[in-house]
Amino acid sequence: MDPTHDPSLTSWIESANGGGDFSIQNLPFGVFRRRDEDEPGRIGIAIGEMIVDVTACRDEGRFSGLAERAAGACAAPVLNPLMRLGAEPRRELRRQVSALLAADSPAYRSNRRLGNRILVAQRNAEMLLPAEIGDYTDFYASVHHATNVGGMFRPDNPLLPNYKWVPIGYHGRASSIVPSGTPVRRPRGQSRPPDADSPSFGPTRSLDYEMELGLFVGPGNPLGRPVPIELAEEQIFGFCLVNDWSARDLQAWEYQPLGPFLAKNFATSISPWVVTLEALEPFRAPAFARPPGDPAPLDYLTSPANAESGAVAVSVEVHLMTARMREQGLEPVRLSRGSAAELYWTPAQLVAHHTSNGCDLRAGDLLASGTISGPARESRGCLLELTWRGAEPLALPGGETRKFLEDGDEVIMRGYCEREGAARIGFGECRGVVLEAG
Ligand code: CA
């Protein structure tokens, strides 16, 4: 850890000091557009209720050395060029931005109007996708999720024999990844209800969310050159929240033999701020403690550093606001809370495995964890598990019940890291409201 993680550090931007998501210890990157300007995306760093415009800071001559190089890469309307530069320039930019925003910043002391030149209020900005996402892979890294879902279909044998050996994943679709706040239209598709002889086509009757953590790749590896696990974290730019919207009836009918397809690719929502690997440094945790009897990971998925601190202890919460709750003036209700530290595989293991056959990852690629569920009922990260395929509907405030999502429902995901001796950091929100089928 370095001075940017000092829990006593505060900012001259007062809204950063109240224990919210965007403390000065966080400094996540995102792409925004000022609402009153017709402009391409600009790269910013969230601080309190504000955004630091990186290019405006650079124009003020605020950066030097490697940080100046990183800020130069932020002239683009997406984060891909910065992601491509790798970790060291990004870390130096973080150090210099932290010093600039700190309460004792000499630059601010000598010019109290600095904020007018480099800050944009988040309420005056529209957040865009942070990167041009070339490829998207979704894993299945929660053993609790895999066991629950497997148990619904195979009560005697919930986990397939490969699960504890190989990180399971599939190639998703990048074109339908949307930023938080984008409404999601209920998809139509083919399904076969259990009591029907033949399938029919129509709006999904079991729309679900999946609470996941996403990882942005940077700088990437050449085709044919696997990334060893010891170097895998050099390939991680940072993390966001992911809602892998899922149509369970379509999924049940189509997923064999080749896996998810149209049940998943109609929309995937992500939170707009990317929390860097550096910001997560105080919240690293040991890799999942495999219970006695589980196999040790194969050598290419093993390193001492990964075992000791390969996981990230990010708490994730799912909240729901129905149309009726909105009309009644009710607050969103929390459906679940889990932790990414419960995942069976670490981020470094996912990167090492993905590239182990020589597959190339490129800057801006998105790797998602899969639904994050824990051992407790309240930590189940999707409705399929929470309602056990609809058998145990959820009771909501206001008297409604839910088996799956209904039109007008808004799913609100939140993520944050808290521990004694460290400043709290958060991911902001990943929101999406369900629209009726078109
Ligand atoms: Ca998923």
Cα 244 to middle of ligand 1, angstroms:
5
pLDDT in tens, 206-220: 999 999 999 999 999
Q: How far apart are the first and last CA of the chain?
A: 50
Query: With bands split at pLDDT 50, 70 and 90, how would you rate the model's confidence at 153?
Result: confident
Cα 383 to middle of ligand 1, angstroms:
13
DSSP string covering 78-102, please?
SSHHHHHH-HHHHHHHHHHHHHHHB
Cα 174 to middle of ligand 1, angstroms:
14
pLDDT at 157 over 90: no
- The two tokens of residue 338 are 């889990």
Query: With bands split at pLDDT 50, 70 and 90, how would you rate the model's confidence at 394?
Result: very high
Burial classification of residue 5, based on how many CB atoms lie within 10 Å of its CB (0-12 exposed, 13-18 middle, 19 or more buried):
middle
pLDDT at 36 over 90: no
Cα 184 to middle of ligand 1, angstroms:
16
Q: pLDDT value at position 336?
A: 98
Q: Which of 340, 344, 338 is nearest to 290 (CA)?
A: 344
Q: Is 319 a catalytic residue?
A: no
Which residue out of 145, 319, 353, 354 is catalytically annotated?
Answer: 145
Q: How far apart are CA 212 and CA 139, in angstroms?
A: 10
Cα 65 to middle of ligand 1, angstroms:
41
Element (H, E) at 428: strand 425-435
pLDDT in tens, 311-370: 999 999 999 999 999 999 999 999 999 999 999 999 999 999 999 999 999 999 999 999
Q: pLDDT value at position 154?
A: 84
pLDDT in tens, 227-285: 999 999 999 999 999 999 999 999 999 998 999 999 999 999 999 999 999 999 999 99
